[in-house]
Amino acid sequence: MSQGFSLAIDGMGGDNAPEMVVDGLELAAERHPQARFLLVGDEARLGALLARRRRAAAACALRHAPDVISSEMKPTTALRQGRQSSMRIAIDAVAAGEAAGVVSAGNTGALMALAKIVIKTMPEIDRPALAAIAPSARGDVVMLDLGANVQCDSRNLVEFAVMGDSFARAVLGLTAPSIGLLNVGSEELKGDDRVRAAAEVLRESHIGPQFHGFVEGHDIAAGTVDVVVTDGFTGNVALKTGEGALRLMRDLLRQVFTSTIPARVGYLLARPALDRLREWMDPRRYNGAILIGLNGVVVKSHGGTDPLGFAHAVDVAMDMVTHRFNDRIRDGLARLAGPEHPRAVSAAPVVATSPR
Amino acid sequence: MSQGFSLAIDGMGGDNAPEMVVDGLELAAERHPQARFLLVGDEARLGALLARRRRAAAACALRHAPDVISSEMKPTTALRQGRQSSMRIAIDAVAAGEAAGVVSAGNTGALMALAKIVIKTMPEIDRPALAAIAPSARGDVVMLDLGANVQCDSRNLVEFAVMGDSFARAVLGLTAPSIGLLNVGSEELKGDDRVRAAAEVLRESHIGPQFHGFVEGHDIAAGTVDVVVTDGFTGNVALKTGEGALRLMRDLLRQVFTSTIPARVGYLLARPALDRLREWMDPRRYNGAILIGLNGVVVKSHGGTDPLGFAHAVDVAMDMVTHRFNDRIRDGLARLAGPEHPRAVSAAPVVATSPR
């Protein structure tokens, strides 16, 4: 790539920053020996941490930022007052072409607003979307939008499908990912005008052969398709509802396995097998929400994650950079272009929201 | 009650009807010794089944219906061609004042369409909603709408809150159920105009003290509130996503506990405790989606349920009849009336959809 750095890293974002970030970069540097990171934040603190992390120190260049955007700061405040913050300076490095992407565990709303304004939306795209990977019975599933746009028209949904296709190819390594449009029933007549219009365009498009049609809520965990496309309101609620159901089940199982002596013994016997299940569902494996559709790679790590989770968010960003994710999106959208691509069905104003 | 029958029962609806229905009524008759059921369907088949079910036979009167609405029939076809069907004749009995409500395990779309047209929406209500009960970490939660209206305005959401309040009082027996409005964030500025407008009306209304504000997807399983209010598109997707996540977890646990010999032994030891968990999450305990806002009680049992699940759907309908559910809704809506109850924010056409 032409940029000097693979990624700019917000060194100060996240509940346990900057220690968690530097420890995460130590893991990431081992996994990606060619990667070069621009680490942005309090130079003295970051320098001291790097002094005891050999691999991270070798992979990183430091850039000082005197300020930090707090997790409570409103996006509008972050825009006005955050010019000297670690998040903003990391984003500026992407806009200036110094780095191909940015990873931050900081304030989601601020990251989305700053990235949109500074890095800017790709000219081919109407609105960027927030995507993530979720576990399913048949492997990983890409979901989008997860809250960048609470109201979407049919054109947005079509663009999300094209972006989700490129994302699944770049990050999951699939050659022809199947794509489903989330709806209240799988029959063609179900749902509202918006999803029906989007389905019609997708069926006729170059990704038509990959388009599975409508899917329902239970198809997400079942892994019926590789990419689940929906508006940001529904996607955000669905993702959090599924996470909540899994958390409830985990809590109840913990109660079950501590409720009686035989159950405790049973747990110890089944533990190796249960541990594999726990590992498979580990939220750190799914850390990293991606704002796609911008002129650069933007990955949001969960604020409360640990070094392993942060390293996973860096993995996702590196996959996107290495596989020239944005070029793929551009190609996909160019193939969509034409009079049959409707400008809008029931357009509505965009409202940026944080994904979790 | 003034009607001759507590409930009219569609004897022929459901995958395993009429056997499953009659066996379910045998259980229901034991639980509700005062109940009188009007059982509608093929008189010869139902009569033969009742001959070997003493309690059901004592509680039921038979009414012949020569036709059955199939699970594939479109609602419009059911309306035109289903006049002699068991579902329609059972619904007619409610409209005629012979029964206070109807229970059917048949075609959901047809049941919703026929009930709306024949039993009719309460004059105080703009649109009926589909509600159900889901398990949570803190007890049962009422959710609505689950797919009766894929697009809703703020007035609909407010009415759903009032109906959900009455439902939670009648069926869950709560004295002041807490109510949450599903959104993409719990902050007041989050979400779209619709949910913000509905929240404003609810805060100022007579149920204001019970109104918790916005809740997110993970709050459903956490049991943050007793009643979760949302539009039919989001509610349908959320319910099915949560069910799908729990099903995935159950399947994975089954794999875990059969994967190794120690895991099998561990399962046997923990089994009594695991069985209590399974019983608590038993989908049959949550069988029964309720179309509320009509001039009568309408309960849809899952089509694939067994006698125990059908009996539970009858329980829900009996609770609503016994606790004069519709009178409570009327009272609630009367207290809402006034110029501050907005007629609409971003109204959209109603599209009936099946809940699952």
CB contact under 8 A, B216 and A237: yes
Q: At A270, list the tokens.
A: 């089944």
- Please tell me the distance from the alpha carbon of residue B236 to that of residue B243, in angstroms, as a whole number: 11
The reply to whether A307 falls in a domain is no
Q: Is the pLDDT of residue A266 over 90?
A: no
Q: Is the pLDDT of residue B339 over 60?
A: no
The reply to whether B5 falls in a domain is yes
- Minimum-distance CB partner of B269 among A216, A232, A265: A265
Q: What is the pLDDT of residues A201-245, one digit of tens each?
A: 999 999 999 999 999 999 999 999 999 999 999 999 999 999 999
Shared domain check, A190 and A76: no
Q: What is the pLDDT of residues B155-205, one digit of tens each?
A: 999 999 999 999 999 889 999 999 999 998 766 667 788 999 999 999 999
pLDDT at position A330: 86
Helix (H) or strand (E) holding B109: helix B108-118
Amino acid at A273: A
pLDDT at position B329: 87
**In B, residues 126-165, which contact A (CB 8 Å cutoff)?**
136-137, 147, 150-151
Q: Is the pLDDT of residue B118 over 50?
A: yes
**In A, residues 89-108, which contact B (CB 8 Å cutoff)?**
none
Helix (H, G, I), strand (E, B) or coil at A251: helix
Shared domain check, B108 and B6: yes
Q: What residue numbers bound the domain in which A31 lies?
A: 1-120
Shared domain check, B193 and B335: yes
CB contact under 8 A, B259 and A269: no
The reply to whether A313 falls in a domain is no
The residue among B103, B120, B137 that closes a domain is B120
Query: What confidence category does residue B355 fall into, taking pLDDT thresholds of 50, 70 and 90?
Result: very low
Strands ordered across the beta sheet of A37-41: A60-64, A37-41, A5-10, A99-104, A297-300, A289-292, A129-134, A141-144, A227-229, A179-182, A211-215
Q: What is the pLDDT of residues B233-268, one digit of tens each?
A: 999 999 999 999 988 888 888 888 888 898 888 888
Shared domain check, A193 and A88: no
DSSP A285: G
Helix (H, G, I), strand (E, B) or coil at A169: helix
Q: Is the pLDDT of residue B338 over 70?
A: no
CB contact under 8 A, B257 and A273: yes
pLDDT at position A284: 80
Contacts of A271 in chain B (CB under 8 A): 266
pLDDT at position A287: 82
Interface check for B48 against chain A (CB to CB < 8 A): the answer is: no
Interface check for B210 against chain A (CB to CB < 8 A): the answer is: no
Number of domains, chain B: 2
The reply to whether B331 falls in a domain is yes
Shared domain check, B115 and B197: no
Shared domain check, A202 and A131: yes
- Please tell me the distance from the alpha carbon of residue B56 to that of residue B9, in angstroms, as a whole number: 12
- Nearest Cα of chain B lies from the Cα of A25 at a distance, in angstroms, of 30
Helix (H, G, I), strand (E, B) or coil at A71: coil
The reply to whether B307 falls in a domain is no
DSSP E strand stretches across chain B: 5-10, 37-41, 60-64, 99-104, 129-134, 141-144, 179-182, 211-215, 227-229, 289-292, 297-300
Helix (H, G, I), strand (E, B) or coil at A325: helix
Beta bridge partners of B144: B131, B229
The residue among B64, B89, B120 that closes a domain is B120
Q: Which residue has the tokens 């949302």?
A: B230
Contacts of A272 in chain B (CB under 8 A): 260, 262-263
- Please tell me the distance from the alpha carbon of residue A219 to that of residue B68, in angstroms, as a whole number: 30
- Minimum-distance CB partner of B266 among A248, A252, A267: A267
Cα-Cα-Cα-Cα dihedral of B55, B59, B63, B67, to 10°? -50
Q: What is the pairing mode between strands A37-41 and B211-215?
A: unpaired
Is the link from the previous residue into A18 a cis peptide, with omega within 30 of 0?
Answer: yes
DSSP B84: T
pLDDT at position A3: 59
Contacts of A353 in chain B (CB under 8 A): 184-185, 190-191
The residue among A78, A98, A120 that closes a domain is A120
Helix intervals (H) in A119-231: 154-171, 193-204, 218-222
- Please tell me the distance from the alpha carbon of residue B113 to that of residue B75, in angstroms, as a whole number: 6
Going B134 to B136 to B140 to B142, the CA torsion angle's sign is negative
Interface check for A14 against chain B (CB to CB < 8 A): the answer is: no
- Minimum-distance CB partner of A244 among B222, B233, B354: B222
Predicted-complex ipTM score: 0.85
Record the pTM.
0.87
Q: At A277, list the tokens.
A: 């299940």
Shared domain check, A96 and A228: no
- Please tell me the distance from the alpha carbon of residue A160 to that of residue A154, in angstroms, as a whole number: 10
The reply to whether A300 falls in a domain is no
- Nearest Cα of chain A lies from the Cα of B38 at a distance, in angstroms, of 32
- Please tell me the distance from the alpha carbon of residue A226 to that of residue A171, in angstroms, as a whole number: 12
Helix intervals (H) in B260-303: 261-281
CA B105 to chain centre: 12
pLDDT at position A2: 46
Of B25, B20, B13, B55, give the one whose Cα is nearest residue B318: B25
- Minimum-distance CB partner of A273 among B241, B259, B268: B259
Shared domain check, B259 and B202: yes
Shared domain check, A109 and A256: no
DSSP B321: H
Shared domain check, B165 and B21: no
Q: At A230, list the tokens.
A: 């929906």
- Please tell me the distance from the alpha carbon of residue A13 to that of residue A106, in angstroms, as a whole number: 4
Count of Cβ atoms closer than 10 Å to residue A54 Cβ? 11
Shared domain check, A114 and A48: yes
- Nearest Cα of chain B lies from the Cα of A30 at a distance, in angstroms, of 32
- Minimum-distance CB partner of B270 among A192, A241, A262: A262
Shared domain check, B176 and B51: no
CATH code for position B33: 3.40.718.10
Beta bridge partners of A101: A7, A297
The reply to whether B320 falls in a domain is no
Helix (H, G, I), strand (E, B) or coil at A234: helix
Backbone angles phi and psi of B355, in degrees to 5: -75, -20
The reply to whether B276 falls in a domain is yes
Contact A39, A87 (CB under 8 A): no
